[in-house]
């Protein structure tokens, strides 16, 4: 088990099928950083409470909206044209690196909040993923959420 959230996120994202699942969920409006945080909390056996979930969302929402999403929009907007323009492609790669760094900063902020929450040895929770997916997790790809859950419980 990874002690810090960033290492957990990187190792989880690299596992087969996780990147695809996360991208599908992201396209449907889910915050992948929150989902990975939820998976980390599930793995650590941290008890799910409405107050904790709200506290994580209060950190993530403004950072997503004001920092990560604008970078992502530029990167996506430049995707097609950058294929024909090498200097723009290089700029797009720098934007992509900034987006990843912004996600890392968000994960560090989420970890700083959640690190003090006690974990229960061997008592994995269920529900963080659904709770943090969106306000209405029923509209998200349940198979993609299940893929994340399987990866978390198999580590």
Within 13 Å of residue 53, how many CA atoms lie on the same side as its CB?
Answer: 17
Looking at residue 99, its pLDDT comes to 97
* Res 147 pLDDT > 90: no
How many domains, in total, are found in the chain? 1
Looking at residue 90, its pLDDT comes to 98
Looking at residue 155, its pLDDT comes to 60
Helices (H), the chain: 5-13, 18-27, 32-44, 50-63, 69-77, 79-82, 86-114, 128-133, 142-153
Task: Give me the phi and psi of 46, to 5 degrees please.
Answer: -80, 130
Mean pLDDT of 3-13: 92
Looking at residue 146, its pLDDT comes to 81
Looking at residue 121, its pLDDT comes to 58
The better pLDDT of the pair 41, 119 is held by 41
Residues 6+ apart with CB under 8 A from 74: 95
What is the C-alpha separation between 47 and 26, in angstroms, rounded? 25
Is residue 25 within 8 A of residue 144, CB to CB? The reply is yes
Looking at residue 143, its pLDDT comes to 80
The pLDDT tens digits for 100-145 are 999 999 999 999 999 999 887 555 556 787 788 765 555 677 788 8
Looking at residue 86, its pLDDT comes to 97
By residue range, what is the domain housing residue 36? 5-153
Mean pLDDT of 23-32: 87
The pLDDT tens digits for 56-105 are 999 999 999 999 999 999 999 999 999 999 999 999 999 999 999 999 99
Within 13 Å of residue 68, how many CA atoms lie on the same side as its CB?
Answer: 20
């Amino acid at each position: 088990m990874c002690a810090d959230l960033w290492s957990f996120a990187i190792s989880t994202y690299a596992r087969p099928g996780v990147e695809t699942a996360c991208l599908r969920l992201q396209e449907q409006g889910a915050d992948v950083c929150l989902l990975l945080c939820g998976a980390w909390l599930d793995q650590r056996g941290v008890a799910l409470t409405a107050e904790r979930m709200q506290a994580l969302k209060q950190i993530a929402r403004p950072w997503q909206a004001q920092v990560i999403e604008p970078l992502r929009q530029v990167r996506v907007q430049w995707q097609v044209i950058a294929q024909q323009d090498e200097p723009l492609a290089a700029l797009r790669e720098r934007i992509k690196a900034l987006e990843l760094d912004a996600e890392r900063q968000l994960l560090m902020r989420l970890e700083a909040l959640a690190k003090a929450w006690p974990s229960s040895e061997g008592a994995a929770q269920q529900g963080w993923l659904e709770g943090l997916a969106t306000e209405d997790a029923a509209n998200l790809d349940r198979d993609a959420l299940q893929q994340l859950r399987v990866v978390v419980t198999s580590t």
